[in-house]
Structure 1
Amino acid sequence: MLLALVVVYPLITALATAFFEQSLVLPGREFVGLANIIDVLGGEFPQLLAQTLVFTVGATVLPFVIGFAIALALNTRIRGAKVMRGLMLIPWLVPGVVVSFLWMWIFNANYGVMNAALQSIGVIDEPQAWLAQPATAMGAVILAKTWQSFPWMMVMLLAGLQTVPRELHEAAEMDGAGTVRRFSAVTVPHMKGIISLVLLLEFIWNFQHFEIIYVLTGGGPAGSTQTFATAVYETAFHGFDLGRAGAIGLLWMLLLMVLVVVYVRFTEKGENR
């Protein structure tokens, strides 16, 4: 009963809005069938899908590479590994809104650390407005999300690395396999399950991510960082068009359901092994 009141009823009510012409500021609503959905599909949907995928893929692959590299380093017998492991978790513990304001300061065109650092090494000649240019805004958002995401991926991958038997590495080394060969032939195959799970979960979370994108750019400039999450919010609470927002949300949920089905199939496959 509690689940129905808290989850099921609000979800069904929100999705049903897609089939009505309804305003946030005007009373009443009119049933329009599939008109809102057809309008969205013929309008901004392709761009929203493309930009959401760009953000999702970038904010999944980049923290995975960084997290895996750090996990490999921490899995060796280096001094201070436990302390470093704890320090690396700090970005993951910081709330998303705080992360957003931190990176907004870093990317600031007038006094941002990014401009100062790049100018000092001669990469750029003058300060850049990273969050105000369509060519760089998405990359900046992905970088901010990467900083927040890589710690949990590092922890998961480090846990997986510690399950790889050292005997396998020692045997491969005795057979003449180098570091790269041992990594590709021993480490990666043994960690295939955890790697797939980490990438899949991060992809699903990024596909519905909202706060960092919205606080940093609000979906701009010129809609270049607009994703499904920010588009639903903007359409409903700035455009006051609940019907159109519901249509975007319905299409977004259908795509998410595909990802959830993939995740469920993957976990069931892992349990049956």
Structure 2
Amino acid sequence: MLALPAVTLFLVVAIYPLVASAWTSLFDQSLLRAERSFVGLDNYADVWPAFISRLGTTLVYSVLATLGPVLVGVSLAMLLNSRLRGRNLLRGLLMLPWLLPGVVVSFLWAWIFNDSYGVVDHMLDMAGLPQVNFLGRPSTAMLAVVVAKTWNAFPWVMVVALAVLQTLPKEQIEAASIDGASRFGRFRYVVFPHIIGPVALVSLLEFIYNFGSFDTIFVMTGGGPGTSTMTLAVSLYQYAFTSFELGKAAAMGVLWLVALSVICAGYFLLNRKLESRS
């Protein structure tokens, strides 16, 4: 009885929309007409080629948008863990990108990379280099989106890594220094084994979040130019609210859920393995 309110809320908020979406995926349903007709698995067959293509783009974005924050966050955590003057002030300032909403960050970086009045092209022009339309070229659009996502997400990786570094016994670092270990050796054999577990979990969580990320790509590129940044989230949005094909959008969502479930299963296995070691 005590758990009944929470269970009811979970069924209403999570389970019912999931079941309704799976049921809708079996119908030819549109926002432009009231009636719908049963088509079985035809929607899945129609969206399957697009799903495979968007899945590849989503994986590329998720991997790059995870590596960027992890590398930047861990590097800054190691810097802030050292005896650096003003490090407390830097810790506060470096948290600002994480406090901003994703849409605000997306608009900010869209202005920065704008080919007409953007800061990046202005700096390239001042340096005598040719200007680049980062958001308008398929070869650079993904890079621009990943840079924006990295700037937005690195602070929380930095905080986790810094918290773990501060639990590292100083005696181990001192012992390694006495034994003649170089700075790289101390990081490789002492620091890295200590932080790899939490950082791996944070990386996997960030990857799962990026796999379903929508706001950054939608605001900055809308999935373009062409389909160079067309992820599953943006593709599903276009099926539902541009083409108004709810059946195909639901089918894309179900396939997306299956792919995400595989990734989440990897997270639980890794978490269980790390817990068994500790």
Match for residue 256 of structure 1 among 252, 260, 263:
260
- Taking the aligned partners of 2:64 and 2:273, their CA distance within structure 1 comes to 27
- Taking the aligned partners of 1:16 and 1:154, their CA distance within structure 2 comes to 42
- Taking the aligned partners of 1:28 and 1:162, their CA distance within structure 2 comes to 61
- Taking the aligned partners of 2:68 and 2:113, their CA distance within structure 1 comes to 19
Q: Which residue of 2 aligns with 1:181?
A: 185
Structure 1, unpaired ranges of 5+: none
User: Deviation per CA, 1:199-243, whole angstroms, max 9, x where unpaired?
Assistant: 101000000000011011111111111100111001100011111
Q: Which residue of 2 aligns with 1:140?
A: 144
Among all aligned residue pairs of Structure 1 and Structure 2, give the percentage whose two residues are the same amino acid.
Answer: 48
Q: Which residue of 2 aligns with 1:14?
A: 21
- Is residue 170 from structure 1 mapped to residue 177 from structure 2 by the alignment? no
- Taking the aligned partners of 1:147 and 1:114, their CA distance within structure 2 comes to 15
- Is residue 238 from structure 1 mapped to residue 242 from structure 2 by the alignment? yes
Q: Alpha-carbon deviation of 1:268?
A: 2.7
Whichever residue aligns with residue 82 of structure 1, its letter is N
Q: Which residue of 2 aligns with 1:119?
A: 125
Whichever residue aligns with residue 19 of structure 1, its letter is L
User: Deviation per CA, 1:41-83, whole angstroms, max 9, x where unpaired?
Assistant: 2x21222011101110010001111111111100001111111
- Taking the aligned partners of 1:40 and 1:260, their CA distance within structure 2 comes to 23
Q: Which residue of 1 aligns with 2:205?
A: 201
- Is residue 46 from structure 1 mapped to residue 52 from structure 2 by the alignment? yes
- Taking the aligned partners of 1:186 and 1:141, their CA distance within structure 2 comes to 35
Whichever residue aligns with residue 89 of structure 2, its letter is V
Q: Which residue of 2 aligns with 1:75?
A: 81
Runs of 4+ that moved beyond 4 A: none
Paired residue secondary structure (1:191):
helix
User: Deviation per CA, 1:227-270, whole angstroms, max 9, x where unpaired?
Assistant: 00111001100011111111111111001111111222222333
Q: Which residue of 1 aligns with 2:10?
A: 3
Q: Alpha-carbon deviation of 1:271?
A: 3.3
- Taking the aligned partners of 2:132 and 2:83, their CA distance within structure 1 comes to 41
Q: Which residue of 1 aligns with 2:39?
A: 32
Q: Which residue of 1 aligns with 2:271?
A: 267
- Taking the aligned partners of 1:5 and 1:190, their CA distance within structure 2 comes to 42
- Is residue 218 from structure 1 mapped to residue 225 from structure 2 by the alignment? no
Match for residue 98 of structure 2 among 92, 98, 102:
92
- Taking the aligned partners of 2:166 and 2:22, their CA distance within structure 1 comes to 44
* Root-mean-square deviation (Å): 1.2
- Taking the aligned partners of 2:71 and 2:216, their CA distance within structure 1 comes to 20
Q: Alpha-carbon deviation of 1:167?
A: 0.8
User: Deviation per CA, 1:165-198, whole angstroms, max 9, x where unpaired?
Assistant: 1111111111111000110111111112111111
Q: TM-score, normalised by structure 1?
A: 0.96
Q: Which residue of 1 aligns with 2:3?
A: none
- Taking the aligned partners of 1:132 and 1:16, their CA distance within structure 2 comes to 38
Aligned length: 270
